[in-house]
Copies of this chain bind each other. A is one copy, B any other.
């Protein structure tokens, strides 16, 4: 933008309460009120900058998910996985614009049941300062709020994507995502973050171990059950490994997710509050690190050799685990949570496998199991107790799992949810997209 218009624009931007910087020059008679206005405006601006940065970090998590899923699946299904993850971001943002945001933050009236609310279609910022400095007592603008929350939305669906990978039909899956992201996620989200009934009950979920990860996890579990295991995963009763094809991409994904989590958790403070945010970043990082150590130990002991894919799952497990209580647990507890979630993740992946629940990327383990664990771990903090936490976990379970199950079943018995045996063997890249992910490279498609 050309710099000429700036000064004009700025003074405008500072809104009602602010002084045009212009006055900086001629040291006019400034009153304390002027100074305070400018100071509050500066505070508003920095809070908003922080929330925007957090938004970027959450955005990049979608690339992280895409890479983790790609790395843990086979080369012949890569294009399909990348496609799904790209489409989900778009679907998530657009449906959130249309209805999600107003479904999640309906602004429940006093004494409302707080079970369901909808503030209408589309998004529009309140006029003037009400959409700016006054919107969230100087923490962020209406638009920042919308975008930050919108970036969260798609996450729930992305989690499902990995679990049903390598066999799900593209079209029907996108339909599932649309419904789940547009309605289920924001609706149940309103119970807590929308200030609904669960919030009233004292349930605590700082950044979404339950509201985001478990919600996605329940969807994943439902999907896995309805669609069934991949061909070759269980051969006459025996569990067979189907190896992922690209460990560097998996690693890129895991690190990007960790990076994104700084925004996911750090941004959930909903202001740049130095003390609160920096503390959250520390608990988040230490839990992730502990998750690595925990899973490394478990993997080394159980599998004899340390499994990279397990250790990276462990890092994510630690991150999901700390998400519910990142701001209320102590540093020590953050490390414990990481160690527990990390080691549990290793066992959990194996258990799901033996339960014939074929989850190529461990989404159910990382997001559902550790999401629940993390939510319960909140109880270790002085001002929270196990009761409401259990209530929360159960409430989301009894709504999300069945609804996901129903959506998937309806799709299964109408348009069908699974590709043909031939297509699955040949790979979804050729089947659904008529493309190859690594054209010219030689790899065995039958493995």
Contacts and interface: CB of A to CB of B under 8 A. Distances in A.
B306 A144 contact: no
A421 to B, nearest CB: 19
5 contacts: A6-B137, A13-B273, A30-B33, A35-B36, A93-B285
A362 B248 CA distance: 20
A247 B38 contact: no
A302 interface: no
A293 B94 contact: yes
A17 to B, nearest CB: 7
Interface in A114-171: 122-125, 131-134, 136-144, 146-147, 150, 170
A175 interface: no
Contact of A52 (B281, B296, B331): B281
A252 interface: yes
A82 B251 contact: yes
Contacts of A386: none
B443 A289 contact: no
Nearest to A88: B292
A317 interface: no
A445 interface: yes
A249 B248 contact: yes
Contact of A24 (B40, B56, B57, B192): B40
B435 A56 contact: no
B9 A276 contact: yes
A239 interface: no
B255 A62 contact: yes
Given A75-B441, A86-B251, 20 more contacts: A1-B193, A1-B269, A9-B271, A14-B273, A22-B137, A38-B40, A48-B272, A48-B277, A56-B259, A83-B311, A86-B292, A87-B311, A91-B289, A97-B286, A125-B279, A133-B274, A140-B274, A247-B438, A248-B249, A307-B434
A225 interface: no
A48 B47 CA distance: 11
Contacts of A245: 438-441
Interface in A65-100: 66-67, 70, 74-75, 78-79, 82-83, 85-87, 89-91, 93-94, 97
A53 B207 CA distance: 19
A306 to B, nearest CB: 6
Interface string A2-38: 1110110110011101010110100100111111101
